[in-house]
Amino acid sequence: MDTELDRISSLPGHVLDQILSVLPIRDAVRTSALSRKWRYKWSQIPHLVFDTQCASITSQDQTIVKNKLVHIIDSVLLLHNGPIYKFKLSHRDLLGVSDIDRWILHLSRGSTKEFVLEIWKGQRYKLPSCLFSFVNLTHLELFNCLLKPPSAFKGFRNLKSLDLQHVTLAQEVFENLISSCALLERLTLMNFDGFTHLKINAPNLQFFDIGGIFDDVSFENTSLLTLVSIGLYANVKNDRHVSHGSSSKLLRFFVNLPHLRRLEIQSYFIKYLAISKVPSRLPKPCMDLNYISIRINFNDFEENSAALCILRSCPNLQEIELLGRPEEQSDVEPRTGFWGDDQWKCLFGHLRLVKMVGISGIRSELDCIKFLLSNSPVLEQMTVKPASNEGGWELVKELLRFRRASIQAEVIYLDP
């Protein structure tokens, strides 16, 4: 055993650091008992992660849990000797205690580049103003927090990745935060409140993932944005009397996304895009878009029109996924025929894979399938998965009747 330990101890310093960095902080501290050389080695690791693996706490008493966690973190920070580049606090039993303020203040005096804080219990934790003085921050991840930066805050000048989930911040704070982080490349927003208008002004943004309730979304200076996943969690009404004459949501959404490569339209966002007039095609085609996923109610005429407009405007698609919302379907079917207007025009010369999920076999769904099969000369596979077993055999018979532009196209029926 001593020989094996000596072999490990004789490894280069950077290798030992790498070994320690992948261990839970509890095990990293325990290595101090291995030998004299290891005694203080753990205190120099630059990445500190305090999660459920950092301590085994069996008590159900929240006070005992809190005190033990605070003691562990205080002890580690006190004995730590060296820069802390990453600090993550994500323990399932930790509330937003005032001790977190002390730890953030301590880190603000150093060179922290990655900061992750996830408060899993209790009300929103109000971040102290010293967090906004992290000048070296490149990644910020917050869960269940309240953000209220000081008036002198000018943004995180080195921030490249921002992940905000279950957060509260004012409209002006949100807009200033995004626009003042000039190097921002990745932005994730999930389940937020305090603001409803998403104005994204980020010249280096490449990845945008959002899910929540909001009134509007717009992009400015986002020519580098290539991947967008957006879900509107609340149903919206397309009131034609209100929306008549207003600018098209569909046109506004795409106008500043010239190099989009991957687009996921989730929940009710296609209904939002269908507000106001929907053109047959976008003014400028999305030449770089090769993957699209749309959740859609095939019983909704406006949603079908918006989806068809988008698909017509993406000639280089390689993969399409259409997810039905069968829970909204009624006995009254929408107007049909618009999916059939462009059949046999080879609109999708690069499309190889299609997925249809959650459908029920209504006419508009079948028209859409026929539209895709007839316009995809190199299609390799179409997968169809209905929402239920009801009418499954009739759906299979319909699928077998459809002609295909691609002689190699395989239509696969999957059970629900």
Measured CA angle at 135 (ends 134, 139), to 5 deg: 70
pLDDT value of position 154: 93
| More reliable by pLDDT, 3 or 233 | 233
**Residue the block writes with tokens 């018979």:** 397
Q: Assess whether pLDDT exceeds 60 at residue 4.
A: no
In sequence order, the β-bridge partners of residue 140 are 115, 162
Write out the H or E segment, with its range, that includes residue 140: strand 139-146
What values do phi and psi take at 46, rounded to 5? -85, -10
Least confident of 27-41, 129-143, 297-311: 27-41
Do 395 and 384 form a contact (C-beta atoms < 8 A)? yes
Share of the chain above pLDDT 90, in %: 62
Least confident of 204-208, 238-242, 311-315, 402-406: 238-242
The length of the chain is 416
Q: pLDDT, tens digit, for every residue of 145-191?
A: 999 999 999 999 999 999 999 999 999 999 999 999 999 999 999 99
pLDDT value of position 241: 44
- Write down the mean pLDDT value for the chain: 87
Q: Assess whether pLDDT exceeds 80 at residue 397.
A: yes
Distances (CA, A) of 204 to 154, 182, 238: 17, 7, 33
Q: What is the pTM of this model?
A: 0.89
pLDDT value of position 86: 95
**pLDDT category of residue 244 using cuts at 50, 70 and 90:** very low
Q: Assess whether pLDDT exceeds 60 at residue 254.
A: yes
- The residue among 358, 361, 355 whose CA lies nearest residue 391 is 361
Mean pLDDT throughout 240-252? 67
